[in-house]
A and B are shown apart, each in its own frame.
Chain A
Amino acid sequence: MAESTTRVIAPEPLEVTDLDLVRLAQAGDTDAFGELVERNRRAVFRAALAAVGSATEADDVVQDAFVTAWRKIGGFRGESQFRTWLLSITWRKAIDRRKTISRWLKLSASSARDEAGDDMFDVIERVPSAAESQAAKYESAELQKDVRRLIGTLPRKLRDALLLAGTGEHTYEEMGEMLQTPVGTVKWRVAEARRVLKRKLTAMGYGDE
């Protein structure tokens, strides 16, 4: 008697797009919006972090941004990607927060500002380094400290572009949307930020071999 073989073919999971979730959220589905939060949380958080420089502040900005997106989602017509729309909201919120913090810091004299940049980057909180690199060339804690400090002194436009590019989460197009700047300009700013940093580092005695 011949054995029959039954092959079970698992159905391919249906892919629910962001737009599907947006439509559900527009109908008041909070779980669908929760899924959108889950999908975009990292990109949104890192964008906020690039602007405000503090994980605590960024977390608050992210919550504000998502709540605003929820309130305004009825007006989202799908002309752009949801993620791009969300990142634009986040960036505006983050910049507002940065201005508030900067104003506050200007009012309160802080000795920590002496050698820092023009805002809170070196004052409020340094984002902790997750792991120290083992690579030989830049093992020097001193060099890393100086790079970090110099990033804080960069002009905001250059620093924003450099840090956004460093998140690993945003395309140049998304960065252009957030910064309201052409993609070419964003790329130039990233390159210019690096040039400025290298120039300053070289002047400090860190030479390239």
Chain B
Amino acid sequence: MSSEQGHHTSLDDAIEHVVRDMMHVDPRPGLRLRVQHRMSQLPRRRSWVGLGALASAALVVLMFVLTTDRGSELQPGSPQQATVESSPTPGGNPPGSETPKRKPEGVPASPVETARTAEPTPESIFGPRDQKVRGASTASSAARQPLTSLRLDVTVADDRKGVSTAPQAVSLVTADRQRGRVLASAAHAVLQVDAQPEILSDGRIRVHMTVSYQAVQQAGETSQPASLEKRITAIVDEGKTLNVLQSTDPASGRTVTVEIKATLLK
């Protein structure tokens, strides 16, 4: 950066130096792997071309079904009985709509009338409407699972030699298989937790989580502040605390411990 005014001063130098110090930082090694790991966790990408082909195929099948259905309705000798008559629409027909006229029993339909009554209706294609609705309702309620929320308590203890700091704890509530994130900043550290719990069939809970812990250098402290970022997948028993990570710096004897507890919220 050069001075915009053309008059370069020692203060310009100082500013330039500090800015360079702040910004000439490189990402931690392994960024590519971290990104690719996250990419692998994404749901499989869908190709729009594939989706288009699928939609076209579905349309062709539907057209085929409609055409075949109409063809069979117009077959001589097999006049389609208007399904509308056997399953009247609840609430009647909307005003202005054509109501098929009921033919007295025993009176044969003329070919023209047969053709008219043979027009496909939703009921002629999909069956009686009320039955269909009941079926759909049953299916959807069977597929629907009750949503469960969980609370995750994450505690990070940072024990330095001769210095005891209060453990930093965060809690986050998220639904089963949903991602939650929490950031907590205190005077001595910043803690960020990104977690996705999943209730397993045996009642235990699988937790995918990323813990970032960055201690802030305290006045008079000579050693580098503790910094930790870890991706963890652990299976925990509901309501029980599990020590998922312990990191010790052999030089300073500093130990950082991470504990998690997952609780189902009824």
Contact = CB atoms under 8 A, between A and B. Distances in A.
B190 interface: yes
Interface in A6-44: 28, 30, 33-34, 37-38, 41-42
Contact of B15 (A60, A131, A135, A194): A194
Contacts of A208: 9-11
B39 A144 contact: no
Contacts of A125: 190, 214, 216
Contacts of A105: 185
B121 interface: no
Contact of A45 (B31, B40, B192): B31
Given A162-B19, A194-B3, A37 B35 contact: yes
Contact of B212 (A45, A60, A70, A194): A60
A183 interface: no
A147 B23 contact: no
A184 to B, nearest CB: 12
Given A56-B214, A143-B14, A34 B32 contact: yes
A45 B183 contact: no
Interface in B1-49: 1, 3-5, 9-28, 31-32, 34-36, 38-40, 42, 45, 48
A148 B22 contact: yes
B200 interface: no
Given A74-B48, A111-B187, A55 B20 contact: no
Interface residues of B, number: 47
A45 B26 contact: yes
A133 interface: yes
A163 B38 CA distance: 29
Contacts of B183: 100-101, 104
Interface in A86-127: 100-101, 104-105, 108, 110-112, 120, 123-125, 127
B233 interface: no
A56 B216 CA distance: 12
Contacts of B247: none
B31 A41 contact: yes
A171 B249 CA distance: 41
Contact of A41 (B20, B32, B42, B216): B32
A49 B39 contact: no
A206 interface: yes
A201 B11 contact: yes
Contacts of B22: 49, 127, 129, 148, 151, 163, 166
A191 B11 contact: no
A125 B187 CA distance: 11
A91 B49 CA distance: 31
A59 B27 CA distance: 7
B56 interface: no
Nearest to A97: B183
B23 A112 contact: no
A33 B190 contact: no
Contacts of B87: none
A144 B14 contact: yes
Interface in A41-74: 41-42, 45-46, 49-50, 54-60, 62-63, 66-67, 70-71, 74
B119 interface: no
Nearest to A121: B22
Interface in A152-209: 162-163, 165-168, 187, 190-191, 194, 197-198, 201-202, 206, 208-209
Interface of B: 1, 3-5, 9-28, 31-32, 34-36, 38-40, 42, 45, 48, 183-185, 187, 190, 192, 194, 212, 214, 216, 227, 229
Q: Which 4 A-B pairs have the closest CB atoms?
A: A166-B19, A191-B4, A138-B14, A45-B27
